[in-house]
């Protein structure tokens, strides 16, 4: 028999689930929409550092030009979308890793052309750190210690090659342990399975003794400990733009870098503004290319 | 004060939604309100988070038991036993026993944290890659051995799960490509939701629909809760203590804390029950309690490293940590101690209110009694398909999720007579397992 009460209950429950689901689907950072025509591209997890920078720094600085944050899963799909759309797209890109060929030598599906790279967005330096108060740990031990274990950030081959080149040139006897991310190597350091980390992240309970960023004068610069070309180089993500005038995009990049929002973001992540801020776009692109070639050369 | 009240209601609302809707876990919920959290005091942030995590567990448990909808992969063991009990007409008992077990385990974990506060650094040892590899191996072996399938079938399912999880480009291993066939959508791998729905939920529905019949669901009652407490006190003391302890300790394992502790506690109980020939194939209440208790205990302990040492070991605690750092707060032991009181209050209030509202929701679902089981699963499956699309559509991946679901469903049909939990866990744990083993290689 047709049961009205049951039908209503089923409808109410179905609606509750649908509304909840739809609310979640449209919420998140993509919820914020503006009147403009520039989309902020994001292929990373919305909760990560790049996601927060896209949402809390780039989107507000765009002001009336902001349209929406387009969070597309994966750099390959984002690259394909950005290359085929007529929409204006601006955002962060890990160009050095996404342009790296795959293991079989084929072209990386996330590859972006140089014409789409606007400038360096920010830089993150690497620091040698250990757990404060651990006996025997010091800069001297990092450089000369036998059989010490050093954890490095190795999200992909480029990160791994850059870190390995510097650490090996500083201490050829050290054992290098590659970690996929900070969620792994920070606990690794804390547990004592590695003696040091060579990474961008710092914590209250760590003592850091050396840095790749010469502007961090509180630390010894790695270039004084190593003859590697990469010892005084940070890692340099880029701003990219599609369907935008590059002069306009470069101006936008500079506006973002000079904003208080960017300063707050950098302070919360331990990243820095790039030291190449005063360079022109062409000069920045040249620097990036040389830096990338240095990493590739270190792999040979 | 107003902020804390708002935080509480927000945590309740998000906990209910994330508990009901699959694919919306605690991480996604925190992400939704991330910008708001940036302007809040730490006490309000923690109050919201505790409420969210606590309420999420109660509602997630109801969804798993009644609808066989897995909120996350960690609810699979609870779903396996709880939904079987629901099909057996013991859904009310499953929900009430789970709720009491969850409450006890959460309280156990909070008290344990307080007692262990001066010695918490001992738990840093669990952050060790060697320990992780051992635990993951135990988890893999036990799920293959104790699953209700023949050993070699479970092993094959486990391997299949691993193979599915390997699809995509693996940057960490130098850009290795596996089974992408040049399809852009496959470069980032296969999403968990289509795998869960096609290869776990779909076979469960098919098995249940085979015999037809009508749903019998009695809901929950105060008497029922009291009876559950008495029953647990007399017959499940060891189960509760064992699984709460496993959950509390393994909650510290980075990256996989909730999922791994739930699986190991469940498999431990399953092994004991099978050895003593006590295991109920139509839904075992002890195994259900083991899974739910360890899950809840680990939720609380997984927050600890983030709160007193700035070491987030789950995705959601990483987000909360980012909020603290954004506000120039460096988590230390004294910071953690200052938040302990609010954690306890948040846990107490949210547990009671969560239990009450979940109870009301459960009793609302009593209308399902008498509904034709086949129609019930058809409606549920249609809903899951819509959810599979809309959740992924946030990342413009709705259509590819549906295509993947359609591709996997024939395999789900073929596997309808097997317990596919080894496959799903093979899929979920593959990344961290291979990564840990790979990293271990560099130590030698």
Residue A121 φ/ψ, nearest 5 degrees: -90, -50
Under the phi-then-psi rule, with left for phi > 0, alpha for psi from -120 to 50, and beta for the rest, what region is A210? beta
Question: Which residues from B are below 8 Å from A5, CB to CB?
Answer: 367
pLDDT tens-place string over residues A237-274: 999 999 999 999 999 999 999 999 999 889 888 899 99
User: Domain for residue A191, yes or no?
Assistant: yes
* pLDDT value of residue A30: 44
Query: Confidence class of residue B439 from pLDDT cuts 50, 70 and 90?
Result: very high
Residue after which a domain boundary falls, among A224, A253, A269:
A224
| Cβ-defined contact of A193 to B129 (cutoff 8 Å) | yes
User: Domain for residue A206, yes or no?
Assistant: yes
Point out the residue among B125, B310, B326 whose CB comes nearest to the CB of A191.
B125
| Cβ-defined contact of A17 to B383 (cutoff 8 Å) | yes
Do residues B289 and B239 touch, judged by C-beta distance below 8 A? yes
* pLDDT value of residue B416: 93
* pLDDT value of residue A13: 63
> How many structural domains is chain A composed of?
2
What mean pLDDT value characterizes chain B?
87
Tokens 């092993």: give the residue. B155
Do residues B174 and A157 touch, judged by C-beta distance below 8 A? yes
ipTM of the complex as predicted: 0.87
CA B25 – CA B32 distance, rounded (Å): 11
Point out the residue among A52, A77, A101 whose CB comes nearest to the CB of B185.
A77
CA A268 – CA B328 distance, rounded (Å): 7
| Cβ-defined contact of B17 to A27 (cutoff 8 Å) | no
Strands across the sheet containing A66-71: A66-71, A38-42, A88-93, A238-242, A117-120
Residue after which a domain boundary falls, among A197, A224, A251:
A224
pLDDT tens-place string over residues B342-356: 878 888 888 888 888
| Cβ-defined contact of A27 to B32 (cutoff 8 Å) | yes
Query: Confidence class of residue A7 from pLDDT cuts 50, 70 and 90?
Result: low
Point out the residue among A28, A100, A157 whose CB comes nearest to the CB of B32.
A28
* Same structural domain, A249 and A119: yes
* pLDDT value of residue B147: 84
Chain B residue closest to A45 (CA)?
Answer: B395
Tokens encoding B36: 């708001």
Torsion sign, CA atoms B116, B121, B126, B130: negative
Best residue in B15, B175, B188 to probe A by mutation, most A CBs within 10 Å?
A: B175
Residues 6+ apart with CB under 8 A from A132: A205, A206, A207
What DSSP string describes B249-309? HHTTSTTTHHHHHHHHHHHHHHHHHHHTT---TT--HHHHHHHHHHHHHHHHHTTHHHHHH
pLDDT tens-place string over residues A34-67: 888 999 999 887 667 888 899 889 999 999 999 9
Indicate which CATH number applies to the domain containing A84: 3.40.190.150
User: Domain for residue A91, yes or no?
Assistant: yes
Do residues B395 and A24 touch, judged by C-beta distance below 8 A? no
Question: Which residues from A are below 8 Å from B14, CB to CB?
Answer: none
What DSSP string describes B387-403? HHHHHHHTTT-HHHHHH
Angle at B101 between CA B96 and CA B103, to 5 degrees: 95
* pLDDT value of residue B59: 86
User: Domain for residue A186, yes or no?
Assistant: yes
Point out the residue among A76, A102, A176 whose CB comes nearest to the CB of B175.
A102
* pLDDT value of residue A262: 94
| Cβ-defined contact of B187 to A188 (cutoff 8 Å) | no
**A26 pLDDT above the threshold of 60:** no
* Same structural domain, A157 and A197: yes
What mean pLDDT value characterizes chain A?
89
B425-430: average pLDDT: 90
pLDDT tens-place string over residues B68-92: 877 666 778 888 999 999 999 999 9
A120-125: average pLDDT: 94
Interface A-B, measured as beta-carbon pairs within 8 A, has a size of 191
Contact with chain B for residue A263, Cβ under 8 A: no
Do residues B404 and B190 touch, judged by C-beta distance below 8 A? yes
* Same structural domain, A131 and A118: no
Burial group, residue B263, by CB count within 10 angstroms (0-12, 13-18, 19+): buried
Q: Which of A157, A137, A133, A153 is nearest to A145 (CA)?
A: A137
* Same structural domain, A147 and A81: no
pLDDT tens-place string over residues A146-184: 989 999 999 989 999 999 999 999 999 999 999 998 888
Gap from B376 CA to chain A (nearest CA, Å): 10
pLDDT tens-place string over residues B175-214: 899 999 989 889 999 998 899 899 998 998 898 888 778 8
Best residue in B395, B403, B433 to probe A by mutation, most A CBs within 10 Å?
A: B395
Best residue in A21, A31, A133 to probe B by mutation, most B CBs within 10 Å?
A: A21
In whole angstroms, what separates CA A97 from the centre of its chain?
A: 10
Q: Which of residues 63-92 of A touch B (CB under 8 A)?
A: 70-74, 76-77, 80-81
Question: Which residues from A are below 8 Å from B255, CB to CB?
Answer: 183-184
Gap from A299 CA to chain B (nearest CA, Å): 12
pLDDT tens-place string over residues A66-111: 999 998 988 999 999 999 999 999 999 999 988 889 888 889 999 9
* Same structural domain, A153 and A207: yes
* Same structural domain, A274 and A256: yes
Chain B residue closest to A9 (CA)?
Answer: B367
Question: Domain containing A56: what range?
Answer: 32-123+236-299
Point out the residue among B187, B255, B310 whose CB comes nearest to the CB of A109.
B187
H or E stretch including A198? Answer: strand A196-199
Indicate which CATH number applies to the domain containing A209: 3.40.190
* pLDDT value of residue B115: 86
* pLDDT value of residue A12: 64
Residue A46's CB is within 10 A of a number of other CB atoms, namely 22
Residues 6+ apart with CB under 8 A from A4: none
Do residues A121 and A235 touch, judged by C-beta distance below 8 A? no
User: Domain for residue A9, yes or no?
Assistant: no
| Cβ-defined contact of B174 to A56 (cutoff 8 Å) | no
Residue after which a domain boundary falls, among A224, A257, A274:
A224
User: Domain for residue A6, yes or no?
Assistant: no
B138-166: average pLDDT: 93
Query: Confidence class of residue A29 from pLDDT cuts 50, 70 and 90?
Result: very low
Do residues A275 and A123 touch, judged by C-beta distance below 8 A? yes
| Cβ-defined contact of A24 to B391 (cutoff 8 Å) | yes
Contact with chain B for residue A33, Cβ under 8 A: no
Question: Which residues from B are below 8 Å from A192, CB to CB?
Answer: 124-125, 128
CA B229 – CA B220 distance, rounded (Å): 13
Q: Are strands A117-120 and A238-242 parallel, antiparallel or unpaired?
A: antiparallel
Do residues B317 and B107 touch, judged by C-beta distance below 8 A? no
* Same structural domain, A153 and A83: no
* Same structural domain, A108 and A254: yes
User: Domain for residue A79, yes or no?
Assistant: yes
Q: Are strands A88-93 and A38-42 parallel, antiparallel or unpaired?
A: parallel
Contact with chain B for residue A183, Cβ under 8 A: yes
| Cβ-defined contact of B172 to A176 (cutoff 8 Å) | no
What DSSP string describes B101-116? HHHHHHHHHHHHHHHH
pLDDT above 70: percentage of residues in chain A: 89
H or E stretch including A208? Answer: strand A206-211
| Cβ-defined contact of B387 to A22 (cutoff 8 Å) | no
Residue A217's CB is within 10 A of a number of other CB atoms, namely 9
Q: Are strands A127-131 and A196-199 parallel, antiparallel or unpaired?
A: antiparallel
B284-292: average pLDDT: 93
Point out the residue among B24, B254, B439 whose CB comes nearest to the CB of A178.
B439
Point out the residue among A71, A104, A186 whose CB comes nearest to the CB of B311.
A186
* Same structural domain, A119 and A138: no
pLDDT above 70: percentage of residues in chain B: 98
* Same structural domain, A107 and A39: yes
Specify the range with the lowest mean pLDDT, choosing from A272-286, B156-170, B295-309: B295-309
* pLDDT value of residue B361: 86
- CA atoms lying within 13 Å on the CB side of residue A241: 20
Q: Which of residues 152-181 of A touch B (CB under 8 A)?
A: 154-157, 175-180
User: Domain for residue A12, yes or no?
Assistant: no
**A24 pLDDT above the threshold of 80:** no
Do residues A181 and A149 touch, judged by C-beta distance below 8 A? no
pLDDT tens-place string over residues B217-257: 888 888 998 998 998 889 899 999 999 999 988 887 776 66
* Same structural domain, A118 and A256: yes
* Same structural domain, A95 and A241: yes
Best residue in B23, B394, B397, B435 to probe A by mutation, most A CBs within 10 Å?
A: B394
Question: Which residues from A are below 8 Å from B128, CB to CB?
Answer: 188, 191-193
Predicted TM-score of the model (pTM): 0.87
- Dmax (CA) of chain A: 86
| Residue A179, strand partner residues | A153
């Amino acid at each position: 028999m047709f049961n009205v009460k049951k039908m209503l209950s089923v409808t109410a429950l179905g609606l509750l689930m649908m509304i909840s689901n739809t609310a979640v689907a449209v919420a998140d950072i993509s919820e914020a929409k503006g009147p403009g025509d520039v989309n902020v591209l994001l292929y990373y997890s919305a909760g990560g550092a790049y996601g927060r920078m896209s949402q809390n720094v780039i989107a507000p600085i765009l002001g009336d030009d902001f349209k929406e944050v387009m969070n597309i899963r994966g750099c390959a799909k984002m690259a394909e979308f950005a290359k085929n759309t007529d929409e204006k797209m601006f955002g962060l890109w890990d160009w050095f890793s996404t342009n790296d060929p795959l293991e079989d030598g084929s072209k990386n599906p996330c590859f972006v052309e140089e014409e789409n790279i606007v400038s360096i967005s920010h830089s993150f330096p690497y620091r040698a750190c250990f757990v404060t108060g651990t006996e025997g740990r010091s800069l001297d031990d990092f450089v000369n210690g036998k059989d010490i274990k050093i954890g490095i950030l190795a999200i992909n081959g480029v990160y791994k090659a850059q870190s390995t080149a510097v650490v090996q040139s500083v201490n050829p006897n050290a054992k290098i342990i590659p970690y996929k991310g900070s969620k792994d190597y920070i606990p690794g350091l804390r547990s004592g399975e590695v003696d040091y980390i060579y990474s961008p992240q710092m914590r209250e309970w760590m003592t850091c003794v050396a840095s790749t960023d010469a502007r961090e004068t509180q630390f010894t610069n790695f270039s004084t400990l190593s003859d590697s070309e990469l010892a005084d180089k940070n890692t340099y993500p880029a701003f990219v733009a599609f369907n935008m005038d590059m002069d306009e995009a470069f101006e936008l990049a500079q506006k973002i870098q000079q904003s208080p929002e960017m300063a707050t973001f950098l302070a919360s992540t331990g990243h820095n503004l790039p030291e190449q801020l005063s360079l022109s776009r062409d000069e920045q692109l040249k620097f990036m290319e040389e830096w990338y070639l240095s990493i590739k050369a270190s792999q040979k | 004060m107003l902020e804390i009240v708002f935080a509480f209601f927000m945590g309740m609302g998000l906990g209910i939604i994330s508990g009901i809707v699959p694919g919306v876990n605690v991480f996604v919920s925190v992400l939704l309100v991330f910008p708001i959290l940036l302007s809040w005091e730490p006490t309000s942030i923690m109050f919201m988070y505790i409420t969210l995590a606590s309420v999420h567990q109660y509602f997630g448990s109801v969804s798993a038991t009644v609808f066989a909808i897995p909120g996350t992969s960690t609810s699979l063991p609870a779903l396996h036993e709880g939904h079987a009990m629901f099909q057996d007409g013991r859904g009310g008992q499953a929900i009430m026993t789970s709720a009491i077990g969850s409450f006890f385990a959460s309280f156990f974990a909070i008290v344990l944290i307080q007692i262990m506060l001066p010695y918490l650094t001992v738990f840093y040892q669990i952050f060790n890659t060697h320990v992780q590899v051992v635990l993951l191996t135990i988890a893999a072996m036990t799920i293959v051995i104790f699953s209700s399938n023949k050993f070699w079938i479970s092993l094959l399912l486990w391997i299949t799960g691993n193979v599915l999880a390997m699809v995509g480009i693996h940057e960490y291993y130098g850009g290795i490509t596996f089974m992408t066939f040049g399809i852009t959508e496959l470069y980032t791998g296969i999403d968990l939701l289509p795998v869960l729905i096609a290869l776990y939920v779909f076979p469960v529905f098919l098995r249940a629909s085979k015999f037809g019949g009508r749903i019998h669901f009695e809901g929950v009652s105060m008497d029922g809760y009291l009876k559950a407490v008495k029953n647990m006190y007399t017959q499940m003391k060891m189960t509760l203590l064992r699984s709460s302890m496993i959950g509390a300790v393994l909650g510290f394992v980075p990256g996989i804390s909730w999922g791994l502790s739930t699986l190991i506690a469940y498999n431990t109980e399953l092994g004991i029950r099978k050895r003593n020939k006590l295991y109920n194939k139509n839904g075992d209440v002890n195994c259900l309690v083991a899974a739910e208790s360890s899950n809840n205990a680990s939720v609380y302990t997984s927050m600890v490293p983030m709160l007193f040492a700035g070491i987030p070991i789950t995705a959601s605690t990483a987000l909360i940590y980012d909020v603290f750092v954004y506000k120039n707060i460096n988590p230390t032991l004294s910071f953690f101690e200052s938040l302990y009181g609010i954690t306890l209050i948040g846990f107490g209030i949210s547990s009671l209110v969560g239990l009450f509202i979940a109870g009301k929701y459960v009793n609302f679902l009593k209308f399902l009694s008498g509904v034709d089981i086949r129609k019930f699963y058809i409606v549920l499956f249609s809903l899951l398909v819509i959810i599979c699309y809309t959740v992924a559509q946030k990342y413009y991946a709705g259509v590819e999720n549906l295509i993947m679901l359609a591709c996997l469903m024939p395999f789900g049909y073929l596997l309808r007579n097997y317990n596919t939990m080894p496959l799903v866990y093979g899929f979920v744990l593959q990344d961290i397992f291979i990564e840990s083993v790979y990293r271990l290689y560099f130590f030698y």
